[in-house]
Amino acid sequence: MARTFEIEGGETERVSIQLQREAPRMGKVRVSSTPAGATVRVDGEYKGDTPLTKLKLPAGETIVIELTLDGYKKWRKRVTPAINDVARVTATLEPIVKEKPKPEPPAKPVKVSASDVTKVSGNLPSIRLRNVKLDGNKPATTKPISARLCIDTRGKVTTVTLGKSVPAKMVTTLRRALKAWRYKPYRSSSKAVPACFVSRFRLKIEAL
């Protein structure tokens, strides 16, 4: 501001000058992102969504440009715009990878007695073998068998471990039949839990 005035001898002249704030010099910034549509904030102030091609900011001042987009990590960069220049800001946003929840380890089966579980379905197969000697003229005989069964929380048989007394010729047929058995779920403290038990029965064997 400038003002011209005269001072005469013996007088006191009071001069008041009101200065006007100079408009800040501005620089241009272009902001783009991959993917587009990210929210742009400059020093925390919302400026629009990418792409921004005519963003004017004070020149010579370092500012922080922040981009946010749902599903992507926040992106920041410091920029100092210059007069008569266009600062180009290009951001490649990094997607947020959500970790899959780790499955809970399966509960270990508890050991119970065969009398603690209730079978709801399943029958023993009738085994027919060649070259089997039966007592006298009997067409069939029975053989004591033991098997360790494990059931899941729905009562489905998951594993079958046959005793050593089971002849090798019977193993496949017998294991297949026992795997098809179903039990009522075993409950502990009102909660269904997997369980294992030893079942003993007599297997019918017929001679071919």
Q: List Cα–Cα distances, 188 to 106, 111, 119, 198, in angstroms.
A: 16, 12, 17, 18
Say yes or no: 134 and 183 in one domain: yes
The pLDDT score that the predictor gives to residue 95 is 93
CA distance 91 to 79: 13
Closest CA relative to residue 185, chosen from 151, 158, 161: 151
Torsion of CA 185, 188, 191, 192, to 10 degrees: -20
Instruction: Give the structural domain span for 67.
Output: 26-92
One domain, residues 116 and 81: no
Give CA torsion, residues 43, 49, 52, 56, to 10 deg. -30
Chain segment 77-123, per-residue pLDDT in tens: 998 888 878 888 999 999 998 888 888 888 899 999 999 999 999 98
> Using one digit for the tens of pLDDT, what is the confidence trace for 15-54?
888 888 777 788 888 999 999 999 999 998 999 999 988 8
Among 92, 118, 148, residue at a domain's last position = 92
21 falls within a domain:
no
Contact in structure between 39 and 68 (CB atoms under 8 Å): yes
- State percent of the chain over pLDDT 90: 45
pLDDT at 148: 94
Among 116, 135, 194, CA closest to 159: 194
pTM: 0.49
Q: How many DSSP H helices and E strands does the chain contain?
A: 1, 16
Alpha helix stretches (DSSP H) within the chain:
168-179
* Residue 97 domain flag: no
**Dihedrals phi, psi of 172, to nearest 5 degrees:** -60, -50
Residue 47 lies in a domain: yes
